[in-house]
Amino acid sequence: MKIAIDHDGCIGSGECVLAAPEVFDQDDDGIVTLVGSDEVDGHDEAIRSAAHACPARIISLS
């Protein structure tokens, strides 16, 4: 699964990190970052939950 993030739109709620801490983290300003690369094998259900939980809707999956 490929993950795209609109970092400029991130509001720092951290819902993505709560849903998929293996994939998402936050920088010192609270903006979402990826733990690894933007292509992830596994964790599909958690990643989809994270994208759905994001109140700013800045996580796109393909």
Give me the residue spans of the domains in the chain. Answer: 3-61
Class of domain 3-61: alpha beta
CA angle 10, 33, 14 (to 5 degrees): 55
Q: Which of 30, 35, 44, 32 is nearest to 2 (CA)?
A: 44
Of residues 9 and 40, more confidence is placed in 9
Q: Does residue 20 contact residue 33 with C-beta atoms inside 8 Å?
A: no
62 DSSP assignment? -
Q: Does residue 50 contact residue 25 with C-beta atoms inside 8 Å?
A: no
Query: Could you give the C-alpha distances from 33 to 15, 20, 36, in angstroms and in order?
Result: 12, 12, 9
List, for residues 22-60, the tens digit of each pLDDT value: 999 999 999 999 998 878 888 999 999 999 999 999 999
